[in-house]
Structure 1
Amino acid sequence: MTNGLARPSPPDGDRGGRPCTAGSQVEIAGECAWFCVPSLHEGHGTFQLFTEGDDLYDAMISAIEGAEHNVEMESFIFAADEVGRRFATAFAARARAGVHVRLHLDAFGSDFPAFAAIRRDLELAGVRFKWFHPFRWLHPLEYIQRNHRKLLVVDGRDAFLGGFNIRRRNSRKLSGEGRQRDSHVRVSGELARVASVLFDRLWNDATPIQPDAIPEAPTGLDALLVPSHSRRCRQRLACLYSGLIEKSRRYLVFTSPFFAPGALIEEAVRNAARRGVEVRLLVPRTGDPPVAGWATRAAYEPLLAAGARVYEYLSRKLHAKTSVVDGEWSVIGSANLDHLSLFVNQELVLIARNRSLAEALRIHHEQDLQDAAQVTLPQWRRRSWRERGLEMLGRTARRLL
């Protein structure tokens, strides 16, 4: 592979097929770039970006109502509120019309008593329903891994993915100016077909991933859907991010609810800043839960000392997960920059080599900075001993976030 960010393929027998592991940071950053940073050509495909829940939900419902064959949805949170009931009504109507509808929800995020009536109505209408990893006494450790993906696929021709859950908190109409800040993207064509394959794989618990599910060495593509795990790499998202960061030359723009990705990515970000890359990180002022904010702040001083810029979002809860590299590469999806998303949970992101999408995400990031406060190194070094103590607790809890 010679295009884009990927390096030439290794010779036969040299690392071929050996899965990446979470060992040496330096070794991983180089080795996983062979497999995990795709070789994409620069494209001009159209991606529809959503930053308002009402707009997204209207588009998703319209797509569901137009479904002719299949509707497939995954979500971490599917609330039993006005938004959740609206989707349930649309699902039930299509199922009664003979459309094959499947709903795969995370048991930790959505299995609450209020949802029981919605589930009953869906199943009576013919919707096939499944919980991801409900708690089982015989397999308690399985409960640690969650399905954090947010995905809707309609007829294998349109797919929506990103950070939005199904709940009123994302709606301006229902939650007003305090609504959650998030991002989602709509894709079509081959990417939607791949999304359907990935949905089916997780629905059926098919492991390892089938060879045709996602190409390890894509050719002729300008974008790719990347799940948490692949046949060759058990931590593909961490390797993807570190490879992109390693290759950056001008700027890196990150928006994330958390920043506790581990030594591999944090070192790559600091190295990029030291070599003159403009690095901007936007995270929320208030962590949710609070320990997540403490863990994020534990990374501030090394980042600031390396020359990175850190901003704290003030006006709303920040839930968007987007990255832009050099105005050319974009990543948007469900994965936070934290240990659980990068190494444990089921996640799904879009990586695209598309300047239009990169510019749109960069503009939204800069608009968000207007509602943020910059954290400077002198200011940060004057923080209280109480804050330093909370950071130590957050650092200790990083692998639980």
Structure 2
Amino acid sequence: MPWPTGGTDEYTLFTEGDDLYDAMVASIEAARRRVDLESYIFAADEVGWRLGEALAAQARAGLQVRLMVDAAGSMFSFSREIERYLRQHGVAVRRFHRWSWRQPLRFYRRDHRKLLVVDGHEAFVGGFNIHRESSRSAYGPGRWRDTHVRLDGALAERASALFEVAWSGNHRGEPLAGRPSGDALVPNHSRICRHQVHCLFTRLLQSADRRLFVTTPYFVPDRGTQGELVQAAKRGVDVRLLLPGKSDVPITRWAARAAYRTLLAAGIRVFEYQPRMLHAKTAVADGMTATVGTANLDYRSFFVNYEINLFSANRALCTALEEQFRTDLGDAVEVTARGWSRRPWGGMAAEAVGWTARRWL
């Protein structure tokens, strides 16, 4: 299935947390009307306080400043101290889906988005949370490997509209996606589709004719997505998956490895990133279409959580993402079918546990 051509928007790609946080602070400080920030994790550490102080300064200056953090994702990191500080200086703060005895099931659905919008003209979206683990200056050489993108123009305006919907809590009023150029910023819920990111990701997989490079930290594919990957390989596409060699959630790694046998048998090449925690969520098809955003390749991101992804036909962005993928392969170890068949029995047992729990990961 062909993807719309075009993609004339200009983007800035970030793969280092310090560079991203510098750019975010600079953008916040340059704001003239409003600043909206949404983050799954907002930690009260060196990085969080730096962003928090920038937000507070703009709120004191009279700008509208809003911050929404996920109640579960930031449960142990977003302290009462930093929340009190922000509120005292005029920042409107919300914790998304706090635990409620009246609505216990809603706690399962999380706001996994990471989105900063300034004046409705500039936006940042991607995998980076607000925490020291993504900063080389704070965390050292072991900082997490992640990806974010800055965008402006009509897509930034759309990002602003999407934040408004999230802030209001009325996700059924999600504005419709779509750009004539083929570039789109989409949530996974809209008035016409509850699984919009999953649908467009499937479309991207189907569009590949020559090569398909996918990076994800939590690889727990649903049956349909796994089937699309296999079908791509069967039609001759060079399919490569870059997955974490180490994970902050071990059971998701077990679940991912349970799928290796099927993937390897289909000719898909699987690589495990070694030096540090891999947290980037990107995919590139034929160097011509790509996605980068907050959605992992798992059940929760595709069918449960609130996510936001950029889908783009911008050639420069696609080239940059593909080049970064090849660079990351230099720090990865390929998993071979022969080597995988010889793995210890203990690993097989762990994989069975992970795969059984895959729909809840």
Q: Which amino acid aligns with 2:122?
A: D
Matched, 1:214 2:171: no
Matched, 1:138 2:102: yes
State the TM-score, normalized to the length of structure 1: 0.88
Matched, 1:306 2:270: no
Shift of 1:264: 0.7
The secondary structure found in structure 2 opposite 1:156 is: coil
* Counterpart selection for 2:26 from 55, 62, 69: 62
* Counterpart selection for 1:251 from 189, 205, 211: 211
Shift of 1:112: 3.1
Give the whole-Å Cα distance in 2 for the aligned partners of 1:113 and 1:384: 37
* Aligned 8 A contact 1:148 1:346 in 2: yes
Shift of 1:259: 1.2
* Aligned 8 A contact 2:44 2:77 in 1: no
* Aligned 8 A contact 2:204 2:290 in 1: no
* Aligned 8 A contact 2:171 2:189 in 1: no
Provide runs of 4+ in structure 1 moved above 6 Å.
none
Instruction: Identify if the C-alpha distance between structure 1 residues 49 and 219 changes in structure 2 by more than 3 Å, giving closer, same or farther.
Output: closer
Structure-2 residue corresponding to 1:165? 129
State the TM-score, normalized to the length of structure 2: 0.98
Residues 2-401 of structure 1 aligned to structure 2 (within 5 Å): 4-5=2-3, 40-112=4-76, 115-210=79-174, 213-215=175-177, 218-401=178-361
Q: Any stretches of 5+ residues in structure 2 without a counterpart?
A: none
Matched residue count: 361
Shift of 1:41: 3.1
Shift of 1:82: 0.7
Q: Which amino acid aligns with 1:64?
A: I
The secondary structure found in structure 2 opposite 1:257 is: coil
* Aligned 8 A contact 1:194 1:214 in 2: no
* Aligned 8 A contact 1:170 1:180 in 2: yes
Shift of 1:113: 7.3
The secondary structure found in structure 1 opposite 2:157 is: helix
The secondary structure found in structure 1 opposite 2:112 is: coil
Give the whole-Å Cα distance in 2 for the aligned partners of 1:326 and 1:113: 40
What percent of counterpart residues are identical? 48
* Aligned 8 A contact 1:227 1:236 in 2: yes
Describe the superposition over 1:94-116 as per-residue Cα deviations: whole angstroms up to 9, x where unpaired.
00101000001000011337610
Instruction: Identify if the C-alpha distance between structure 1 residues 379 and 113 changes in structure 2 by more than 3 Å, giving closer, same or farther.
Output: closer
RMSD, aligned CA: 1.3
Shift of 1:299: 1.0
Describe the superposition over 1:8-36 as per-residue Cα deviations: whole angstroms up to 9, x where unpaired.
xxxxxxxxxxxxxxxxxxxxxxxxxxxxx
Describe the superposition over 1:281-303 as per-residue Cα deviations: whole angstroms up to 9, x where unpaired.
00011232110100010111111
Give the whole-Å Cα distance in 2 for the aligned partners of 1:69 and 1:272: 47
Give the whole-Å Cα distance in 2 for the aligned partners of 1:81 and 1:219: 38
* Aligned 8 A contact 2:37 2:68 in 1: yes
Shift of 1:384: 1.7
Q: Any stretches of 5+ residues in structure 1 without a counterpart?
A: 6-39
Shift of 1:258: 1.5
